[in-house]
Amino acid sequence: MKKYLNISLIYAILAMAGGVFYREFTKLNGFTGVTVLGKAHTHLFLLGMIVFLIVALFAAQKDLRTIKSFRAFMWIYNIGVPLTAIMMVVRGITQVLDISISTGASAAISGIAGIGHILTGLGIVFLILSLKKVAQDRLK
């Protein structure tokens, strides 16, 4: 349980740092429009901190590491969420600085962010399968 609370704390710190970066970076550059940069903050809070707080609650009931789908969740999800957030920050910086990037570079940023989203979604599926296993074991 402590491990999942620590992971949640790490995501919370990253989310707060992302929020401060968003606010200060846009203010420093006089940017007042909408940018993806601000959404990285909420992605890290919800998909990082909140999910692992929920995981910690389930871990108090059962050792989740014994469930194969949970181990897959841990790897896949903890690659997908940071990858998504990093690409959101990259896209947001190009938006704030109004950097003209090639179509290929733009597609690469979108593609990598898409891979992050796919991994995150796959991780969520593995988490739900793990939690279903916990629920089935409790009914026995």
pLDDT in tens, 65-99: 999 999 999 999 999 999 999 999 999 999 999 99
Q: What is the pTM of this model?
A: 0.91
| Strand residues in the chain grouped as ranges (E) | none
pLDDT band at 44 (very low <50, low <70, confident <90, very high): very high
Residues 11, 35, 89, 56, Cα dihedral to 10°: 20
Q: Residue 99 contacts by C-beta under 8 Å, 6 or more apart in sequence?
A: 93
Q: Residue with structure tokens 């910086």?
A: 93
**Consecutive H or E run containing 6:** helix 2-28
What is the tens place of the pLDDT at every residue in 16-32?
999 999 999 999 999 99
